[in-house]
Amino acid sequence: MTDTPNRIAALGECMIEMFRRPDGSLTMGFGGDTLNTAVYLARLGTPVDYVTALGDDSISDGMVAAWAAEGVGTSHVLRVPNRLPGLYLIETDAGGERRFLYWRDQAPARELFALPQTPELAAALEGYGIVYLSGISIAILGEQGRERLFEVLERVRARGGKVAFDTNWRPRLWPDLETARAAFGRMLRLTDIALPGVTDLRDLYGDADADAVLARVRDAGVTEIVLKLEQPGCVVIENGEAVEVPAQKVATVVDTTAAGDSFSAGYLAARLRGEGPADAARAAHKLAAAVIQHRGAIIPRDAMPA
């Protein structure tokens, strides 16, 4: 049995976020795919802890304080002396599509499963009802870190917890396709709730279409699948049948940053409330629709949908 069956551990990396305004000036915030999901989960009333490693600098202090202010648990944020978090710059085109530039090679989150505090962290993770992570989470750890993570996830499931995985394929984070394919394959076999993107697995494996991607994830043994389509919408498996759930229409897309991250939060929060997969997907679309109408990963609190 898990110790905290209704609590989620979101695992990954948060970085300093710089956004270039139209006049060329920069604004600073913070963001990372699983961190964005954790913040939105907390705003939706879902108990969630963020699991990562940061430095001992003032910006890292500010990050932890900001997460706590959002209601995200920070007891499993490991701190590494004399290190700094990674940084990324967002640029968006006229259609709201985003481009990222990264400075993250020395970020302490890459050593999350190779630190003196790691054994204690691994033991704590086994007690969660859901451990949520992404393709970025597994990419940054390297082969030894991933192996330790996979061992932890096996123990999570053995104790009755679930693993939720958003594919978030970022080719620049991987040394080669063979390594990435092996890691994703292993990860999918450890997943209970998969939130794959058609474009992610098509680009990674060369799958022909949504049906092929869906078949791949099913063949890995995943029991709950939310397949994000190329056009706005998703396919969920409910009562053994594939059901397409269209996305909400948005008049003006301002910035697509964190669209998928907020979707994951909306879906998981709804499922923990007891909603079925299709209704949970509708709730996820509603949140994502609000997010893409604002700049940056985390929208103002008063912009959250009812």
Token pair recorded at residue 80: 């590494």
- Whole-angstrom distance, CA of residue 244 vs CA of residue 233: 7
Q: Is 274 left (phi over 0), alpha (psi -120 to 50) or beta?
A: left
Rounded CA Rg of the chain = 18
Judging by DSSP bridges, how do beta strands 26-31 and 15-20 pair with one another? antiparallel
Residue 5 contacts residue 284 (beta carbons within 8 Å): no
User: What is the distance between the terminal CA atoms of the chain, rounded to a whole angstrom?
Assistant: 34
- Whole-angstrom distance, CA of residue 88 vs CA of residue 67: 18
Would residue 261 show up in a list of annotated catalytic residues for this protein? yes
Length of the chain: 306
Q: Which of 211, 261, 279, 302 is catalytic?
A: 261
Residue closest to 187 by CA, chosen among 158, 214, 153: 153
Residue 267 contacts residue 195 (beta carbons within 8 Å): yes
Q: Can you name the residues that pair with 9 across neighbouring β-strands?
A: 49, 131
Residue type, 26: L
Q: Is 195 left (phi over 0), alpha (psi -120 to 50) or beta?
A: beta
Residue type, 21: R
Q: Which residues are catalytic?
A: 261
